Amino acid sequence: MARKRSNAAIPLAIVVFLAGLILAHYSILIPGVLGVGLVYVAISFLSSRLNPFSLSFYLTVKPSWLSIGTLAFVGLALVGVAYGYYVSGLGPFAPGLPRLP
């Protein structure tokens, strides 16, 4: 019997989150862009989950609700990290620029 739901996006979201935290020391734009990208992917997965006509068009195995929620949460967390770094001045805005005062 074929699987109906996939949790494959969860480990990938965690890896992207850790990469965003590490790369935030080079530029606070990186976690922001990664976060917005993950939220976009979560919305895309949500639409494939709810659209009855996308049974085999987009994904052969539908993402689970847990993986969609994890992607959205990690994406919003990365945007929050970028904002927190911006407010506190922990990271440079772009590579090569000084840190914000």
Question: Is the pLDDT higher at 17 or at 6?
Answer: 17
End-to-end CA distance of the chain: 58
> Which tens digit of pLDDT belongs to each residue from 12-34?
999 999 999 999 888 889 999 99
Specify the pLDDT at position 1: 47
> Which tens digit of pLDDT belongs to each residue from 63-100?
888 999 999 999 999 999 999 988 888 878 777 777 66
Domain ranges of the chain: 28-52+61-67+80-91
* Lookup: tokens for 17: 């989150």
Question: Is the pLDDT higher at 67 or at 5?
Answer: 67
